[in-house]
């Protein structure tokens, strides 16, 4: 058993908005219930960029190694580990610990942990060794087995990585608001989250519409499983589709005219905010009260639901459409994500770190 901390290579943002660079970081010694994972792939989520650029406020930890869409293979297990063995194909998502005792943790909703420290983020949080947690843009990671997911054999490890955040973030609200046959679902923004939302909502049997800034990606959207595709830059979209949808998932990383989008819901419909833009957004009450509409939000998914989502994706042949990159292309990939030029998730081959 690895009784010492191990030193591994990683890519870190040294300071807010600074380009990421190669560094070494320490991983904690393997605890009784820990597994050591050889990371093979790490997806680039827009949240990585928000955090590396300190767009969610001061107080983050720098240098920060982002990455919470991790897949790899177990290299070693602690003596108390019961569910995993060396060689298993596994994943790690957005958190690596939680209190385990609060009502939400006991219900398997660890992402909403109300314990003293809340859920412990895979990076930019304080780990149980008292050190800042560091994420998946690295060669290996040590994680308690209770926060590790099993990757079904049917899913390739590279295209499965984005499921650990983007997949479950879209699966969870689609399941909660019962997307399925007879339901009209709109997905706003065809990026990392959006393209998986389209695939998953389609597989659940819903009628799916993409609302993108332009028609540039229309063929892709239809190919991914959307039934309809409209541009939000064309203002007639908002009159043509008024009162159409049961459910709207807003995956946009920037501010949006929320009122205009709420107007697209049927009576009693719900728009779920998934994107977490840098700045607060304003909203008139009229589109909400007018048709008893709801505006809600949703954060990733708990451990049981993440496993359920992985099994659902394996059964429906769903994984991300990825562009595999070398670690020295991370900064360029960040710029392309910021320019909405991602088709549809960048995934780092961590062997290149």
Q: In the complex, which residues of this chain contact ligand NAP (CB under 6 A)?
A: 45-47, 50, 165-166, 169, 189-194, 212-213, 217, 251-254, 256, 274-276, 298-300, 337, 340, 342
Q: Tell me how far apart the alpha carbons of residues 159 and 247 are, in angstroms, rounded to a whole number.
A: 27
Three-class DSSP category at 200: helix
Q: Tell me how far apart the alpha carbons of residues 238 and 252 are, in angstroms, rounded to a whole number.
A: 17
Nearest alpha-carbon partner for 93 in 68, 112, 74, 72: 68
Q: Tell me how far apart the alpha carbons of residues 29 and 223 are, in angstroms, rounded to a whole number.
A: 46
Q: Which is nearer to ligand NAP, 171 or 312 (CB)?
A: 171
Q: Which is nearer to Zn ion, 93 or 269 (CB)?
A: 93
Q: Which stretch binds Zn ion (CB under 5 A): 110-118, 124-132, 210-218, 320-328?
A: 110-118
Q: Which is nearer to Zn ion, 105 or 208 (CB)?
A: 105
Task: Verify binding: residue 299, Zn ion, rule CB under 5 A.
Answer: no
Show the tokens assigned to 51: 């955090």
Binding to Zn ion (CB under 5 A): which residues in 42-101? 45, 47, 98-99
Preceding peptide of 344 cis, ω within 30°: yes
Q: Which stretch binds Zn ion (CB under 5 A): 40-48, 202-210, 238-246, 262-270?
A: 40-48
Partner that binds at residue 125, options Zn ion, ligand NAP, none, CB closer than 5 to 8 Å by kind? none
> Shortest approach of ligand NAP to residue 296 CB, angstroms?
11
Q: Which is nearer to ligand NAP, 124 or 212 (CB)?
A: 212
- According to DSSP, the residues that pair with 46 across neighbouring strands are none
Q: Which is nearer to ligand NAP, 78 or 189 (CB)?
A: 189
> Shortest approach of ligand NAP to residue 72 CB, angstroms?
20
Partner that binds at residue 102, options Zn ion, ligand NAP, none, CB closer than 5 to 8 Å by kind? Zn ion
Q: β-strands 21-27, 322-325: how paired?
A: unpaired
Preceding peptide of 312 cis, ω within 30°: no
Q: Tell me how far apart the alpha carbons of residues 203 and 7 are, in angstroms, rounded to a whole number.
A: 42
Q: Give Cα separations from 32 to 94, 221, 274 (angstroms).
A: 22, 46, 36
**Positions in the binding site for Zn ion (CB under 5 A):** 45, 47, 98-99, 102, 105, 113, 115, 165
């Amino acid at each position: 058993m690895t009784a010492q901390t191990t030193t591994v290579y990683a890519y870190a943002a040294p300071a807010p908005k600074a380009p990421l660079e190669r560094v070494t970081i320490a991983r904690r010694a393997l605890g009784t219930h820990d597994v050591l994972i050889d990371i093979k792939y790490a997806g680039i989520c827009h949240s990585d960029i928000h955090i590396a650029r300190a767009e969610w406020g001061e107080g983050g930890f720098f240098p920060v190694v982002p990455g919470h869409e991790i897949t790899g293979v177990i290299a070693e297990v602690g003596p108390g580990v019961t569910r995993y063995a060396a060689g298993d194909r596994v994943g790690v998502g957005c958190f690596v610990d939680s209190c385990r005792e609060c009502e939400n943790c006991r219900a398997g909703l660890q992402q909403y942990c109300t314990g003293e420290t809340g859920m412990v983020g895979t990076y930019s949080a304080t780990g149980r060794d008292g050190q800042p947690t560091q994420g998946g843009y690295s060669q290996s990671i040590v994680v308690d087995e209770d926060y590790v997911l099993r990757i079904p054999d049917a899913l390739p490890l590279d295209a499965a990585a984005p499921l650990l955040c983007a997949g479950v973030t879209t699966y969870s609200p689609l399941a909660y608001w019962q997307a399925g046959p007879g339901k009209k679902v709109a997905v706003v923004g065809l990026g990392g989250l959006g393209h998986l939302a389209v695939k998953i909502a389609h597989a659940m049997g819903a009628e799916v519409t993409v609302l993108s800034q332009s028609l540039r990606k229309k063929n892709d959207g239809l190919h991914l499983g959307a039934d309809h595709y409209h541009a939000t830059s064309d203002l007639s979209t908002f009159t043509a589709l008024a009162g159409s949808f049961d459910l709207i998932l807003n995956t946009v990383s920037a501010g949006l005219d929320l009122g205009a989008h709420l107007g697209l819901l049927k009576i009693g419909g719900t728009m779920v905010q998934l994107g977490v833009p840098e700045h607060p957004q304003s909203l008139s009450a009229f589109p909400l009260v007018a048709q008893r509409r709801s505006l809600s939000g949703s954060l990733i998914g708990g451990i049981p639901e993440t496993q359920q989502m992985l099994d659902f994706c394996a059964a429906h042949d769903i994984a991300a459409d990825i562009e595999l990159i070398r670690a020295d292309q991370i900064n360029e990939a960040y710029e392309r994500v910021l320019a909405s030029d991602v088709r549809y998730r960048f995934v780092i081959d961590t062997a290149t770190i």
